[in-house]
Amino acid sequence: MAINVLDKLNKIPFWQKMVVLLVLVAAVVATSLFMYWKPLDQKITALQGELQQLERTYKEQKAVADDLATFQANTKKLEEDLRIALTQLPREKEIPTLLRDIYTLGRKSGVEFKTFQPQGEINRKLYAEIPVKLQIVGAYHEIAVFFDRIGKLSRIVNVSDLDISSQVSKDKETMLTVNCNVTTFMFLGSGT
């Protein structure tokens, strides 16, 4: 029976054998292309995208690593700026000292305190306002020196709502009565 099949194949013209062979080769190539090469091509494309992403990440991290000294210097400067800011914005335990300092500055400047009345704390997101209602009496120069000294404190202190009136004393000196609010601030954020 195998001889019969071979005899029949030998009787087929050569050009028909070549066409059948070409069709078989094309079928094998097409099958391998779709079964093996196409998934590999898709995997190569995906890996190339991943490689590009890794290269971008590498370049970004290398730039940071190459500039590490500058990054550390910037961090150190920011920490110093924070330390300075915290000296201007006291924490809760420093407020009584600051209020005592304001009172002492007033006494050293020659003003007389008629009212020194701390008001209720006003909380904001990162800080709290601590207003103090003041009524002080003194000569123009004494009051100016007092406000100048408040302005030179290392802490942030605002003077607002000034109401100034004057009267002549018995010895013919003009005395000013100043009603105002002095507001200092307290840091509420997390500690360092």
> pLDDT digit of tens for each residue in the chain (192 aa)?
567 777 777 788 888 888 888 998 888 888 877 777 777 788 889 999 999 999 999 988 888 788 878 888 888 888 887 777 766 666 665 677 877 888 899 999 999 999 888 888 888 888 888 888 999 999 999 999 999 999 888 888 899 999 999 888 777 788 899 999 998 888 776 544
| Its pTM surpasses 0.85 | no
pLDDT for the residue numbered 93: 57
Under DSSP, is residue 188 helix (H, G, I), strand (E, B) or coil?
Answer: coil
Say if residue 120 is in the same domain as residue 173: yes
List the domain range (segments joined by +) for residue 121. Answer: 90-187
pLDDT for the residue numbered 108: 92
**Stretch (H or E) spanning 132:** strand 127-138
Q: Please check whether residue 26 lies inside any domain of the structure.
A: yes
Q: Please check whether residue 82 lies inside any domain of the structure.
A: no
Say if residue 166 is in the same domain as residue 123: yes
Q: Please check whether residue 45 lies inside any domain of the structure.
A: yes
| DSSP structure class, residue 37 | I
**Count of residues for the chain?**
192
Number of domains in the chain: 2
Amino acid identity, residue 106?
G
**Who's near 169: CB < 8 A, 6+ residues apart?**
175
Say if residue 94 is in the same domain as residue 40: no
